[in-house]
Amino acid sequence: MDPQQQQYLRRQLIKHIEGGEAFLPLEDILPKIPFEKTGVVPADLPYSLWQIVYHIRFAQKDILEFSRNPEYVAPQWPDDYWPTSVFPENHELWESTVHAYYKERDEFISLIMNPKVDLFEPFGHGEGQTVFREALLVIEHTGYHAGQLVVLLRLLGLY
């Protein structure tokens, strides 16, 4: 793939990671969540807004760490990927989780946009994964859970 094609591909991955191509960007969802509603679990659903936001952030961070750290050790699935409480401990934890999501997303975007990073070169660790594959994983995972957030917001009368 020539450099111009690779640059185009990098920009497309970023557009999808940021959302708005096939799913609502989290920038459009998260501001609609009042803190007092973060722990509400609508009838017959297994999760709250907090649990989904925590999970999106944790999984994205896990993928980022796997992508840039050859000494990566996987967290315990599923226990580490979901919070134990349906409600964040306090407003500061909610805010810091949202902030960390954006910060780590920007770090992942920087990794993708780094021209020294070959999108298709398998990592020296793992089972043949590449930055390209991990970017697709972030896109798919965030898109899936962004849809869940919108459903919860609708059920709570917030969207």
Prediction pTM value: 0.97
The pLDDT tens digits of the residues spanning 87-107 come to 999 999 999 999 999 999 999
Are 91 and 97 in contact by the 8 Å Cβ rule? The answer is no
Q: Give ∠ CA 112-97-132 in degrees, rounded to 5.
A: 20
Specify the pLDDT at position 30.
Answer: 97
Number of domains present in the structure of the chain = 1
Q: Which residue range forms the structural domain that includes residue 79?
A: 3-155
What are the tens digits of pLDDT across the range 120-155? 999 999 999 999 999 999 999 999 999 999 999 999
Q: What percent of the chain has pLDDT over 70?
A: 100
Please give the pLDDT value at position 20.
Answer: 84
Does pLDDT of 3 surpass 90? Answer: no
Give me the CATH number covering residue 37. Answer: 1.20.120
Please say if the pLDDT value at position 1 is more than 90.
no
> Can you tell me the distance from the alpha carbon of 96 to that of 57, in angstroms, rounded to the nearest whole number?
11
Round to whole Å and give the CA distance between 34 and 61. Answer: 24
Q: Which residues contact 41 (CB under 8 A, 6 or more apart)?
A: 47, 48, 86
